[in-house]
Structure 1
Amino acid sequence: MTSTAHRLFVMWAPPRSLSTAFVRVMAARGDFTILHEPLCDLAACGHFVHRRAGAEPRRLDSAPALFEHVGHLLGEGPVFVKDTCEYDYRDMLDGTGYLRDAIHVFMLREPASVINSHYHINPDMRCEDVGYEHLARVYDLVRLQARARPLFIDAERLVADPAGTVARFCESAGLKHLPESLQWEGGHLDIWERTKRWHLDAANSNRIAPIDRQYAVTVDNHEQLRGFYQANRPFYDYLRQQAGSVQQ
């Protein structure tokens, strides 16, 4: 990646962790170029299409091509990338400037909530799709190779106190806090075209707010989901512990 004074933020999250709601906050600021799940698209489809207003869609067919594209974008302004961790990205990331130079942000949400919500949309989900093991592996790589200290966002705290949580994030990240970014116009964003069925709540919202939804199938009444929870919980606990040590 090219040298630039503009900063790159990369958010890593399990699917269904409210990370897209945070993307909406960052998009509403108006000062970041947003890339939505580029590594996830590369892993799932073999390519990522970057769509943004005023520019032709850009198709990228490899991680090196993506990282080069991000470097060019950083020549224009700051960039915020969000990726979900259904997949193991270590082979794509290891030893790259993208990993080394970014400010990495980890979104944590209680695994039962992640799993219940994920299964509701994708009943064919696998244990690894929950994403916490992959998230922990990315964190370990970041801790070894990234220059900047990683940041963490607690999803439950984000919903309970959006203004305070976003303000604290901005302070930790060295960003100007823009309270107006906590509200936006509803509707789908072009950046999540491939996975828009996963983002109906974010599309139908104009701010971060609790969603009161009861699921018929949960980790409490489904043996397989309970197994997914038990497999992912240790990685979540590890990351929570790391978040506490980083923030002290």
Structure 2
Amino acid sequence: MNIACWSGPRNLSTAMMYSFGARADCAVWDEPFYAAYLAQTGLNHPMREDILDAGETDPTVVAKHCTLPPSGSEPYFYQKHMTHHMLDHYDQTWFDEVVHVFLIRHPARVLASYSQKRENPTLEDIGFAQQSQVYDAVLSRGLKAVIIDSHDIRQQPETMLSKLCDAIGMPFDPAMLAWSQGGHPDDGVWAAHWYNAVHSSTGFAGPEKDLPVLSDDLQTVCEAALPHYDRMKSLAISCPSENSRVIPTTSL
């Protein structure tokens, strides 16, 4: 089973990749389309040249590999996709051959985190509109789409990961609740810039606090993203009562 997990940045996406990567039966792939996205847009992201040198810049080649088994013998292949990497002109026929998961997070939390790594993020940067577009594309092809909120995963990791696994047709593995400190062998080359927090973790952080207060500029971006988030949130796997047991782990 090949699993395409569609997320924006700063959305628990790396922790989720580590969670699936902690399973002995699951290979992972970190942001397959990143190099192609940079090559085709010309955007100046941190470590741009390193990313272009390390990755495949032809989106057709990337898409083909997304449908193939991993290089090892694992029966599951988890792919961490950034929604804004999926440009409008890319071929989407490969969508038919993978299982689709959409990982969402409130835009205020995304922006507060993203702006610490890259100044003045735009709506385009954080991928909410693109996530809606990919979601609609998946539905238009008659495919199933499973949505899960990162806030709920942090609230109750074991419960929500069990629900996610059940929804996509794979058994839950308790190994998903913890991973080794220091990163994953399949991290993208950009990990040195973006992944310092998750590299120091050994599992999901505890429940999130109140929403952060944003600057006026970031609040404007947040309000533009909110309709996309609210729509996806209304369709997400439900989280049980917050009074249920929460698995304590090292914070991200």
Residue of structure 2 aligned with 1:140, choices 136, 139, 144: 136
Residue 179 of structure 1 aligns with which residue? 174
Residue 162 of structure 1 aligns with which residue? 157
Matches within 5 A, 1:37-186: 37-45=31-39, 60-73=56-69, 76=73, 77-94=75-92, 96=93, 98-147=94-143, 149-186=144-181
Matches within 5 A, 1:232-243: 232-243=225-236
Q: Relative to 1, partners in 2 of residues 1:30 and 1:126: Cα closer, same or farther, differing over 3 Å?
A: same
The alignment partner of 1:192 has SS state of coil
Contact 2:5 2:100 in 1 (8 A): yes
TM-score, with length taken from structure 2: 0.80
Contact 1:27 1:34 in 2 (8 A): yes
Q: Relative to 1, partners in 2 of residues 1:159 and 1:221: Cα closer, same or farther, differing over 3 Å?
A: closer
Q: Which has the higher helix share?
A: 1
Residue 216 of structure 2 aligns with which residue? 223
Residue of structure 1 aligned with 2:205, choices 209, 215, 218: 209
Q: Relative to 1, partners in 2 of residues 1:45 and 1:130: Cα closer, same or farther, differing over 3 Å?
A: same
Instruction: Give the counterpart letter for 1:81 in structure 2.
Output: Q
Instruction: Give the counterpart letter for 1:138 in structure 2.
Output: V
Contact 1:133 1:232 in 2 (8 A): yes
Q: Relative to 1, partners in 2 of residues 1:111 and 1:71: Cα closer, same or farther, differing over 3 Å?
A: closer
* CA distance, structure 2, for counterparts of residue 34 and residue 108 of structure 1: 19
The alignment partner of 1:122 has SS state of coil
Instruction: Name the stretch that deviates more: 114-123 or 32-41.
Output: 32-41
* CA distance, structure 1, for counterparts of residue 207 and residue 116 of structure 2: 14
List alignment gaps of at least 5 residues for structure 2: 41-47, 239-252
Give a deviation string over 1:156-207, Cα, whole Å, max 9, x none.
1100111111111111111111112211111122422322121122111111
Residue of structure 1 aligned with 2:5, choices 11, 26, 47: 11
The alignment partner of 2:235 has SS state of helix
TM-score, with length taken from structure 1: 0.81
Contact 2:178 2:203 in 1 (8 A): yes
Give a deviation string over 1:45-98, Cα, whole Å, max 9, x none.
469x99xxxxxx98533122112223442585431111122344332143x1x2
Contact 1:42 1:63 in 2 (8 A): yes
Q: 1:214 Cα shift?
A: 10
Residue 188 of structure 1 aligns with which residue? 183
Contact 2:147 2:232 in 1 (8 A): no
Instruction: Name the stretch that deviates more: 222-231 or 193-202.
Output: 193-202
Residue 4 of structure 1 aligns with which residue? none
List alignment gaps of at least 5 residues for structure 1: 1-6, 51-56
The alignment partner of 1:29 has SS state of coil
Q: Relative to 1, partners in 2 of residues 1:236 and 1:221: Cα closer, same or farther, differing over 3 Å?
A: closer
The alignment partner of 1:82 has SS state of strand
* CA distance, structure 2, for counterparts of residue 24 and residue 128 of structure 1: 26
Residue 54 of structure 1 aligns with which residue? none
Contact 1:11 1:83 in 2 (8 A): yes
Q: 1:151 Cα shift?
A: 0.8
* Residue correspondences, number: 227
